[in-house]
Amino acid sequence: MDTLIENQRVAVPKKLEKMFGHLDYKNPPELCPVRDVMSVASDQWSILILLWLGYYPVLRFNKLKKYVYGISNKVLSQRLKVLEADGYVSRKVYAEVPIRVEYGLTDFGKSYVKRLLDLTEWMQQNSPKVLANREKYGLI
Amino acid sequence: MDTLIENQRVAVPKKLEKMFGHLDYKNPPELCPVRDVMSVASDQWSILILLWLGYYPVLRFNKLKKYVYGISNKVLSQRLKVLEADGYVSRKVYAEVPIRVEYGLTDFGKSYVKRLLDLTEWMQQNSPKVLANREKYGLI
DNA sequence: CCGCATCCTCTCGGATACTG
DNA sequence: CAGTATCCGAGAGGATGCGG
């Protein structure tokens, strides 16, 4: 592009170059797999679900609902279905009475949760700073 | 808790223990700083904005709008305001005519984008797998 | 050029009740 | 117990036009 040269690039170019092949604004978003995958994997509720499933190897529907505080039946089952379809979550049904369904992470899901934990760990460590920033910003 | 012992914990306990102090379902979500910070920092549009600002050290409003393909005026300025308030983004106004406004990352923002890149890099590498999973799931 | 104000649409998500 | 079905309200977000 003509204007791309206007600005200098930051110093971590390798990663970025690779990333922005996909995020290039000339590619319509519906063709960008990263945005596609992201829309599922970085959804607020999905993150919480995945984290809890990372914590407990196996959780049943209502247990999960209790842990993912505030989530509704509808959203929980929606998210679980999508997360299963995308390969993060496994679902095992036991034909007992009453029925028992156990959710867990696939190996793929575990590998994602590992990354996710790095991010949320950062958030946890830095949340005081963010809240302080927000405070300060409000006062100016 | 009584029921916490029912399931075994996964093998990465250190990180998780720390995390789940905050994600404990006994803490209402509005008191959980991680969920709070996350709601801004892992928003779909915010991620794209931050990534582009990580790519170019400085971007003006309309340039940014072009790169973050599909975003509207309203959402872009909303997100920028919040991201600025939370300390990720810097905003510099030049009193020229016509006015010029330059957006960039703060050091804090850069440290977050670094983590973010790990995640999106994972997504980029694994998006084929996700799409394949999704495909397969649909066919069953 | 930046970005707010307005309007209007439309999807997401909450609550509840019900079934295999 | 594990969800689905239905209804409904809130609010996110798109489009546009204007003002600083």
Other C-beta atoms within 10 Å of A66: how many? 14
Q: How many domains does chain A have?
A: 2
- Give the mean model confidence (pLDDT) for residues A73-91: 97
One domain, residues B75 and B23: no
- Is the separation of the CB atoms in A1 and B103 below 8 Å? no
pLDDT digits (tens, 9 = 90+) for A43-74: 999 999 999 999 899 999 999 998 898 899 99
CB contact under 8 A, A85 and B114: no
The answer to whether residues A23 and A51 belong to one domain is: no
In a domain, B36, yes or no: no
Q: Do A119 and B115 touch (CB under 8 A)?
A: yes
In a domain, B133, yes or no: yes
**Number of A–B residue contacts, CB under 8 Å:** 205
Kindly state whether residues B69 and B125 are assigned to the same domain: yes
The pairs formed by A70-76 with CB atoms below 8 angstroms and a separation of 24 or more are: A70/B28, A70/B29, A71/A45, A75/A45, A76/A45, A76/A49
Neighbouring residues of A116: CB distance < 8 A, sequence distance ≥ 6 = A47, A50, A51, A54, B119
Query: Is B131 inside a domain boundary?
Result: yes
User: How many Å apart are A1 CA and C9 C1'?
Assistant: 36
Residues B54 and B94 in one domain: yes
pTM across the whole model: 0.88
Confidence at A21, pLDDT banded by 50, 70, 90: low
Q: Which two three-digit tokens encode residue A31?
A: 């063709």
Q: Same domain for A60 and A21?
A: no
Q: Is A109 helix (H, G, I), strand (E, B) or coil?
A: helix
Read off the pLDDT of residues B78-104 as tens digits, 9 standing for 90 and up: 999 999 999 999 999 999 989 999 999
Residues 6+ positions from B23 with CB-CB distance below 8 Å: A48, A51, A52, A67, B32, B34, B35
Q: Is position A36 within any domain?
A: no
| B33-CA/D3-C1' distance, Å | 31
Residue A131: φ, ψ to 5° = -65, -35
Q: How far is the CA of A129 from the C1' of C6 (A)?
A: 36
B97 CB neighbours strand C below 7 A = no
Q: Is B92 a domain residue?
A: yes
In a shared domain, residues B17 and B57: no
Same domain, B19 and B46: no
* A105, β-bridge pairs: A89
Which range of residues forms the domain containing residue A83?
Answer: 41-139
Cis peptide preceding B98, ω within 30 of 0: yes
What confidence tens digit (pLDDT) does each residue in A86-133 have? 999 999 999 998 999 999 999 999 999 999 999 988 998 999 999 999
Tell me if A19 and B120 make a contact (CB, 8 A cut-off). Answer: yes
Q: What is the pLDDT along chain B (140 residues), one digit of tens a residue?
A: 333 333 344 444 556 666 666 666 666 656 688 888 999 999 999 999 999 999 899 999 999 998 888 899 999 999 999 999 999 999 999 999 899 999 999 999 999 999 999 998 899 899 999 999 999 887 65
Statement to judge: residues B21 and B67 lie in one domain: no
- Cα–Cα distance for residue pair B119/B140, rounded to 1 Å: 30
Read off the amino acid at residue A51. L
Partner A contacted by B10 (CB < 8 A): yes
Q: What residues of B are in contact with residue A50 (Cβ under 8 Å)?
A: none
Give me the pLDDT at residue A2, please.
Answer: 30
Residue A70 and residue A4 in one domain: no
The CATH code of the domain that includes B132 is 1.10.10.10
Q: Are residues A70 and A132 in the same domain?
A: yes
Positions in chain D where some atom is under 7 Å from a protein CB:
1-6, 13-17, 20
Residue B5 inside a domain? The answer is yes
Does B11 fall in a domain? Answer: yes
Compute the distance between CA of residue B8 and CA of residue A80 in angstroms, rounded to an integer.
21
H/E stretch holding A116: helix A107-139
> Is A57 an 8 Å CB contact of chain B?
yes
Q: Are residues B67 and B10 in the same domain?
A: no
Residues A77 and A135 in one domain: yes
Residue B6 lies in a domain: yes
Q: Are residues A133 and B68, on separate chains, in Cβ contact within 8 Å?
A: no
